[in-house]
Amino acid sequence: MKIALVNTMTPFVRGGAEILVDDLRGQLAERGHQVELFRLPFPNDYAVGLPELVLASKLLDFSSYDRVIAFKFPAYCVCHRHRTLWLFHQFRQVYDLFDKQDGLPRTTENEALRQLIARIDNTDIPTAEHVFVNAQEVQNRLRDYNAITSEILPPPLLNMQAYRRGEYGDYFYCPSRVNPLKRQHLAVEAMRYVKTKVRLVIDGICIGDAYDRQLRELIRTYHLESKVVYENRWVEDSEKIEKLSRSLGVLYIPYLEDSCGFVTYEGFYSGKPVLSCTDSGGTKEFITDGINGFLVDPTPEALAEKMDLLYKNRKRAQKMGQCAYKSIIEKDITWDSTIRRLLA
């Protein structure tokens, strides 16, 4: 089968969605399909650039392909008789994040843009042959804002066998893209309240100089240099796997994350409990509080309490880590089953 994968990208930014689409391309090719990947650059000027990009998406000719699979706005606006959507998220800035942190402020211009994008979504998404979403959080948003039904198709993790279970060290590991919605600042603030010698290691590239400065200022202001490691750099998989295997647990506390996040997968496959928050979105679909991780209120004090608890009780950390590994294995999220559903 000739398959086109169509995604949207922020130039020079690579996150979980980009990694997943690359993995899907490789998995489809391994199964004998001809696959090409198209990436549409996301504009900096939303008001002008987004309507133009929607139009450009619709003008692209994919008639040479048997199937088109699209992922994010406005890439999923492309036209094809056999179009499947695997929706990672909509343009959240005009939905649940509108007039909130990291969303668009409420102005006359942005209100018009919000209504335009909602009309586009309401018109274009239902015309797909199949509408999949990666998590319950996205399914709920699509239902509540657009009255569109969908099927949940959680993404698999590539090379899951590479992750290994090691010792339970003295640090919580926090690997992900660094930005305000991932809330690394909340993790740093939690270190003000820990009563043990537990440490925090943050890995990932920061999106924006302002947030990088904010994190560094927090560390300096509260004299956390001996407790927090933050370098603002890309970490290769081999280094990340090693740090995961030696960690006490994984800290992943995004705000209303669209999916459980690859970080949750990586923690579970490494046999580590994952500490997250009650408002972290998709992580709640995988974490059973007190069994394979913790779901706490999004406060520094609540996070610090659980970090101290596992530092003082390594046997409990180990037991929860074993439950984490067992729970992800039992979900049986594989590329074989995923591709069967995408191409059905």
Q: Where are the domains of the chain?
A: 2-153, 160-331
**Better-predicted residue by pLDDT, 88 or 45:** 88
pLDDT band at 30 (very low <50, low <70, confident <90, very high): very high
Q: With a cut of 90, say whether residue 17 has pLDDT above it.
A: no
pLDDT of residue 75: 93
Taking residues 200-226, report their average pLDDT: 95
Q: Which residues pair with 64 in a beta bridge?
A: none
pLDDT of residue 256: 85
pLDDT of residue 144: 95
Q: With a cut of 90, say whether residue 206 has pLDDT above it.
A: yes
Q: With a cut of 90, say whether residue 158 has pLDDT above it.
A: no
Q: Which two tokens stand for residue 92?
A: 């959240």
pLDDT band at 46 (very low <50, low <70, confident <90, very high): confident
Q: With a cut of 70, say whether residue 47 has pLDDT above it.
A: no
Q: With a cut of 80, say whether residue 124 has pLDDT above it.
A: yes
Q: Parallel, antiparallel, or unpaired for β 249-251 and 83-89?
A: unpaired
Q: With a cut of 90, say whether residue 90 has pLDDT above it.
A: no
- Give the 3-state DSSP-derived string for 238-279, with helices as H, strands as E and coil as C: HHHHHHHHHCCEEECCCCCECCCHHHHHHHHHCCCCEEEECC
Q: With a cut of 90, say whether residue 268 has pLDDT above it.
A: yes
Domains 2-153 and 160-331 share a fold: yes
Could you tell me the sign of the dihedral formed by the alpha carbons of 136, 137, 139, 143, in that order? positive
Q: Which of 16-30, 35-49, 84-98, 318-332 has the lowest mean pLDDT?
A: 35-49
> In the predicted model, what is the mean pLDDT of the chain?
93
pLDDT of residue 260: 75
3-state SS assignment for residue 149 = coil
pLDDT of residue 71: 95
Q: With a cut of 70, say whether residue 236 has pLDDT above it.
A: yes
Angle at 236 between CA 238 and CA 330, to 5 degrees: 55
Cα 248 to Cα 309: distance, rounded to the nearest angstrom: 11
Q: Which of 22-31, 42-51, 111-120, 230-239 has the lowest mean pLDDT?
A: 42-51
Number of other CB atoms surrounding residue 52 within 10 Å: 12
| Fold type of domain 160-331 | Rossmann fold (3.40.50)
CATH class of 2-153: alpha beta
pLDDT of residue 253: 97
